[in-house]
Amino acid sequence: MPGIIDQWGNPVSTAALRKEQAAPTMMGVRRPNTQHQASGLTPGKLGSMLRSSIDGDPEAYLALAEDMEERDLHYAGVLMSRKLQVAGLEITVEAASDSAEDVANADMVRAFVERDAFETELVDILDAIGKGFSATEIIWDTSESQWEPTALKWRDPRWFRFADEDGETPLLRDVGGDVPLHPFKWIFHQAKVKSGLPIRGGIARAVCWTFLFKSFTQKDWAIFCEAYGQPLRLGKWGEGATEKDKEVLLQAVANIGVDYSAIVPQSMTVEFVKADIAGSHELYLKRCDWLDQQVSKVVLGQTGTTDAIAGGYAVGKVHNGVKEDIERSDAKQLAATLKRDLFKPYIDLNKGPQKAYPDVKIGRPEQLDTSKWLGDVKTFVSMGGKVGMSVVRDKLGIEEPGKDEELLGAPAKPEDDQQGEKPVPQKKDKTPIGVTAHRAGSKGPGDAIDRSIEDMLAEDGFEPAIEQIVGGIEVKLAAAASVDEARMILADHLRQLDVDALADRLARAAFAARLAGLGNDPLTVA
């Protein structure tokens, strides 16, 4: 497809994408078998491996990193826990915009990540956490005139090295010499466990020394158990025993330690002397445990959830935040690599270069205290703020109701159920519609007390009395910046009120209403 360049600015050759670039070969430099570097490991040998890896030959070091995951069960356990925890996180894909094309691109990516095999492929990509980098080859399928990644194949890190010029550009080992990686063909992930060159960024580089010391400790522990774990077997021969007799006795004593059975002539005896251990054999256990704790710290950032230490549960709770930080960092790095090396090529090969691409996020969903959040929204709205209905629906996870769907509503208030009356609409002069003042000579609806109240509301002096009390408060409250400030404004306003005129009119109205009730005849408030 002409005109397409990769994320590094290199032109993409579609012909090169249709075949595997790093398939293993038995006769070439990419052999599937490997030499075990952990056998006979010494400080000198390990130091030589680490120096060679920096000088451009990391094969031996990467082979050792693989051996460590097989031989050290603790390291294998915590490393796999870290990789599986990130690989199992929720993946969300958001369209770049609401346009039909961007939504279609997001749907295409979303369908790919929902494949059952994708989580296992992520574990292979996260092999970079231990070794500093991982190279995963994308196998493209074009059988139906489309570009579809049918598989993401893990490739052995030993088959790669870095350019001497910068120590960062990955190269693939080949028979004719090292070659660059084909554009749009590789997911090259670097785990930034520490800053520096990619070959020095993996956890294995730090753990290899604890692996070496732990292997020495375990070997000494095995010798200790061999020497003191079994009773001393003492063979005795009688007078006149020949050299052949002594050889028979020695072989018998040795067989007792191996298969727990032996025969000796009647003239010979075998005694078992109890082994009394001098010193504490717990030294080896404590040293191995201490080394394991250091490995847990560098891999998980904590020890409380992996090592049996005092107060393990409480310590695990304290360190849980550190572990979440590491998880979040791994997830963001992984998402960035996938967007750059997988999803951009996936979209470009099928639809051409885009102005914007879907946003892919890997992580735990946000934990929202909906009760507190709704309380904050109510306070915000009561102060004049505006909140979109769609925002509230998204936060609560409530979908937009269908057109003909039955809707839930707030329950009716008890007084509404009993009276069923609506507020009386007002005329422009604020006189209730349908109410005629008594002094106008017409009778309003209701009984005498109702008509007396209506007459009182229509009086000229009542409204000014109310206005004297509430006047100006609306403007002051509108300028309040918080609920506490609004309360202070109300309190200050109440202290300055002169309610004598209103109290006088209310007293007169109450007296008139009482007389009207007794006489069933409305009275005008004097």
* Residue that wins the pLDDT comparison between 135 and 231: 135
- 163-175 pLDDT, tens digit per residue, is 999 999 999 999 8
Q: Are strands 148-155 and 160-162 parallel, antiparallel or unpaired?
A: unpaired
Residue 338: name the closest of 113, 94, 55, 501 by CA.
Answer: 113
pLDDT (0 to 100) of residue 217: 86
Share of the chain above pLDDT 90, in %: 34
pLDDT tops 80 at residue 6: no
What integer pLDDT is reported at residue 412 of this predicted model? Answer: 66
How far is CA 420 from its chain centroid? 53
Determine the pLDDT at residue 128. Answer: 95
**Residues 56, 162: contact at Cβ < 8 Å?**
yes
Of the candidates 471, 276, 365, the residue with the CA atom closest to the CA atom of residue 91: 365
**Triad 413, 417, 419: Cα angle to 5°:** 115
Q: What is the pLDDT of residue 223?
A: 74
* Best-predicted range by mean pLDDT (320-324, 394-398, 476-480): 476-480
Q: How confident is the model at residue 140, as a pLDDT?
A: 94
Which of 101-105, 403-407, 439-443 has the highest average model confidence (pLDDT)?
Answer: 101-105
The pLDDT score that the predictor gives to residue 307 is 58
* Sequence-ordered strand ranges (E) for 276-435: 359-362
Is residue 500 over pLDDT 90?
no
Q: How confident is the model at residue 15 (pLDDT cuts 50, 70, 90)?
A: confident
Helix (H/G/I), strand (E/B), else coil: 394: helix
418, pLDDT greater than 70: no
pLDDT at 341 over 70: yes
Confidence of residue 361 (pLDDT cuts 50, 70, 90): very high
pLDDT tens string 27-53: 778 888 777 888 889 999 999 999 999
Report yes or no: 183 and 12 within 8 Å, Cβ to Cβ. yes
Q: Which of 222-231, 421-430, 502-511 has the highest mean pLDDT?
A: 502-511
Q: Please give the average per-residue pLDDT across 201-208, as a whole number.
A: 92
At residue 447 the predicted structure's pLDDT band, cuts being 50, 70 and 90, is: low
pLDDT value at residue 1: 47
- Which residue type occupies 513? A
Tell me the pLDDT tens digit for each residue of 211-259.
999 988 888 887 777 666 666 666 777 777 778 877 877 777 777 665 6
How, if at all, do strands 170-172 and 160-162 pair? antiparallel
Quote the CA–CA distance of 180 and 8 in Å, as a whole number. 12
Cα separation, 199 vs 187, in Å, equals 17
Task: Please state the rounded mean pLDDT for residues 128-139.
Answer: 95
Mean pLDDT along residues 301-328? 62
Looking at per-residue confidence, does 467 or 329 come out higher? Answer: 329
